[in-house]
Amino acid sequence: MAKYLLSIDQGTTSSRAILFTEAGQLHASAQQEFAQHFPQDGWVEHNPDDIWQSVLKTCQRVLKESDIAATDVAAIGITNQRETTIVWDKTTGKPIYNAIVWQDRRTAEYCSALADNDKKLVSDKTGLLVDAYFSASKIAWLLANVDGARAKAEQGQLLFGTVDSYLIWQLTGGREHRTDATNASRTLLFNIHQQYWDDELLTLFNIPKAMLPEVMDCSAEFGKCKPEFFGRDIPILAVAGDQQAALIGQACFDKGMAKCTYGTGAFLMLNTGEQALSSQHKLLTTIAYRLNGQVSYAIEGSIFMAGATIQWLRDGLKLINDASESEALAKKAGLDHGVFLVPAFTGLGAPYWDADARGAILGLTRDSGINEIISAALQSVVYQSKDLQNAMELDGLKPQVLRVDGGMVANNWLLTLLADVLNISVQRPVVVETTALGVAYLAGLQAGIFTSTEQIAQLWQCQHKFVGKMPSQERQALYNKWLAAVAKVQA
Ligand code: ADP
């Protein structure tokens, strides 16, 4: 019996292929970065062929370097950067344009020009806000701006996919045009309550239904890889968007369980079970996962600048050579310096959704130095998390535990402060590659390696638990100062 599960983690800046054992242990991995294209201010594109080639190469490399035969791989799971939009010709397989990346703002005006009642209709049906971030307006842009695209789409000649769909299409040699419910739920076209592509939304964005992929459960038969790629027709048995995959990799299967991934940005997601709760505080409602036709929903809040703020300290201000140096320097400065950094470099995400706010460092004195700025940068990640926690609490949701992952969780100073300010138990798992692990679990479920989500939950292991110890007065005083700083930068 095949012993390994192969996860494809197709991210915004790189693609990774990770082999997991049947016990959910990381066995080997390979990674490849690819080019980012910024053709105009606010535009972000990827070449779909770069994405595909980096995925194919990393999969082939991880198998070769770890000397594992394709016959030993039970299944492939795919997790991916969400919302990024690709449209291709179904006969030639050629994309009609580059992939328009989730960060791309070219359709911001189009989105804000929609009528208020249309915006409400979209939110009610999709759980999202009308924003350039999601796929629908990107598809509309492609159909309106690429020569001949509208006519071809009307003739049924063009296919749309998020990155998962495009990879399935490529891996199966153009046989399957499919996606999963979590990726579909980020397009602004999928009715998350009824589980179908919604005709009213398709009409609103003027998108022909024939372009859309078939929507499957997260664990399902998505198709088989063309044998020539890996030497065997390995089945693709799982797909989930990156944040949803991390929720699963953190085994947050019960209502009320929450995870936050601290990478370039940060994404806090709370499982709300069978109920699609609609936030009154600008958090998004999304599909957490769909298994055996049964949907679990989640509330999600996103922070645009988390690790990216530390990158800016490194590459922009050149205060550090490596992100890992931030921990010791912030520790030296502590919390009593009164410096606050609001990282609104590209506006503020949830719960503010203020696209026009810009960043600032406040409270500088002659005593302020590099360490204080670094401390303030790390603190900003914590206070933004607190903003999301507050919004969730105002919506009646109170997670008791926060499971964390992503590159930043190597920083103990950050996680200690997070536990203090959120006054919650912060848990870091043994396997921090939770995104890839999540789809390995899902593929294992479909392959019969795991029998239930309960069994998967048993495999999750805590590496370290951070418990909040800060007196509530101090916590509140720090957070009030943060709120005052945010108020100063809001447009
Ligand atoms: P992504 O998947 O979004 O590319 P990762 O999960 O790989 O991001 O995390 C990388 C981010 O984490 C970088 O932005 C980096 O600045 C930050 N980071 C890495 N190590 C540390 C650390 N020890 N302290 C603070 N930030 C860190």
SS3 per-residue string spanning 368-393: CCHHHHHHHHHHHHHHHHHHHHHHHH
List 28's β-bridge partners, or say none: 19
3-class SS of residue 167 = helix
Q: What is the pLDDT of residue 346?
A: 79
Q: How confident is the model at residue 349 (pLDDT cuts 50, 70, 90)?
A: confident
Cβ atoms of 81 and 10 within 8 Å: the answer is: yes
**How far apart are the CA of 445 and the centre of ligand 1, in A?**
30
Q: How confident is the model at residue 333 (pLDDT cuts 50, 70, 90)?
A: very high
Q: What is the pLDDT of residue 364?
A: 95
Cβ atoms of 10 and 167 within 8 Å: the answer is: yes
Q: What is the pLDDT of residue 351?
A: 86
Cβ atoms of 42 and 105 within 8 Å: the answer is: yes
pLDDT digits (tens, 9 = 90+) for 71-126: 999 999 999 999 999 999 999 999 999 999 998 889 989 999 999 999 999 999 99
Residue type, 252: C
Q: Residue 412: CB within 6 Å of ligand 1?
A: no
> Which of 12, 32, 264, when mutated, tests ligand 1's pocket best, judged by the most ligand atoms within 8 Å of its CB?
264
Count of beta carbons in the 10 Å neighbourhood of residue 31: 15
Q: In terms of DSSP bridges, do strands 26-33 and 214-216 run parallel, antiparallel, or are they unpaired?
A: unpaired
**How far apart are the CA of 12 and the centre of ligand 1, in A?**
13
For residues 187 and 191, give the distance between their C-alpha atoms in angstroms, rounded to a whole number. Answer: 10
Q: What is the pLDDT of residue 103?
A: 85
Q: Which atom of ligand 1 is nearest to the CA of 314?
A: 16
Structure token pair of residue 282: 């600008």
DSSP 8-state class, residue 192? T
Cβ atoms of 55 and 169 within 8 Å: the answer is: no
For residues 210 and 149, give the distance between their C-alpha atoms in angstroms, rounded to a whole number. Answer: 14
For residues 140 and 204, give the distance between their C-alpha atoms in angstroms, rounded to a whole number. Answer: 10
Structure token pair of residue 460: 């999750």
Structure token pair of residue 467: 């418990």
Q: Residue 130: CB within 6 Å of ligand 1?
A: no
pLDDT digits (tens, 9 = 90+) for 350-388: 888 887 888 999 999 999 999 999 999 999 999 999 999
**How far apart are the CA of 309 and the centre of ligand 1, in A?**
10
For residues 148 and 129, give the distance between their C-alpha atoms in angstroms, rounded to a whole number. Answer: 30
DSSP 8-state class, residue 37? B
Burial of 228 (0-12, 13-18, 19+ CB in 10 A): exposed
Q: Which residue has the tokens 């990346």?
A: 101
For residues 350 and 183, give the distance between their C-alpha atoms in angstroms, rounded to a whole number. Answer: 20
**How far apart are the CA of 27 and the centre of ligand 1, in A?**
22
**How far apart are the CA of 409 and the centre of ligand 1, in A?**
8
pTM over 0.85: yes
Q: Over 90: is that where the pLDDT of 41 sits?
A: no
**How far apart are the CA of 412 and the centre of ligand 1, in A?**
13
Q: Over 70: is that where the pLDDT of 1 sits?
A: no
Nearest CA to ligand 1 atom 18: 408
Between 11-15, 78-82, 419-423, the lowest mean confidence (pLDDT) is in 11-15
Q: In terms of DSSP bridges, do strands 258-262 and 401-405 run parallel, antiparallel, or are they unpaired?
A: parallel
Cα separation values, 295 from 26, 299, 440, Å = 28, 13, 19
Cβ atoms of 64 and 3 within 8 Å: the answer is: no
Helix-strand-coil percent breakdown of the chain, rounded to 5?
A: 40, 25, 35
Instruction: Give the residue-averaged pLDDT of 328-354.
Output: 90
For residues 471 and 462, give the distance between their C-alpha atoms in angstroms, rounded to a whole number. Answer: 26
Mean pLDDT across the chain: 94
Q: Over 70: is that where the pLDDT of 168 sits?
A: yes
Q: What percent of the chain has pLDDT over 90?
A: 84
Strand spans (E) along 335-474: 340-342, 360-362, 401-405, 425-429, 462-466
List 240's β-bridge partners, or say none: 79
For residues 87 and 93, give the distance between their C-alpha atoms in angstroms, rounded to a whole number. Answer: 10
Q: What is the pLDDT of residue 24?
A: 87
Cβ atoms of 46 and 54 within 8 Å: the answer is: no
How many Cα atoms sit within 13 Å of 71 on the Cβ side?
1
Q: Residue 407: CB within 6 Å of ligand 1?
A: yes
Structure token pair of residue 377: 């940068």
Q: What is the pLDDT of residue 2?
A: 63
Contacts of 126 (CB under 8 A, 6+ apart): 185, 187, 188, 189, 190, 191, 192, 198, 201
Q: What is the pLDDT of residue 347?
A: 82
pLDDT digits (tens, 9 = 90+) for 274-301: 999 988 888 999 999 999 999 999 999 9
Q: Return the sign of the alpha-carbon dihedral for residues 442, 446, 447, 453.
A: positive
For residues 338 and 165, give the distance between their C-alpha atoms in angstroms, rounded to a whole number. Answer: 48
The overall longest dimension of the chain from CA atoms, in Å, is 67
3-class SS of residue 96 = coil
Q: Residue 311: CB within 6 Å of ligand 1?
A: yes
Q: Residue 310: CB within 6 Å of ligand 1?
A: yes
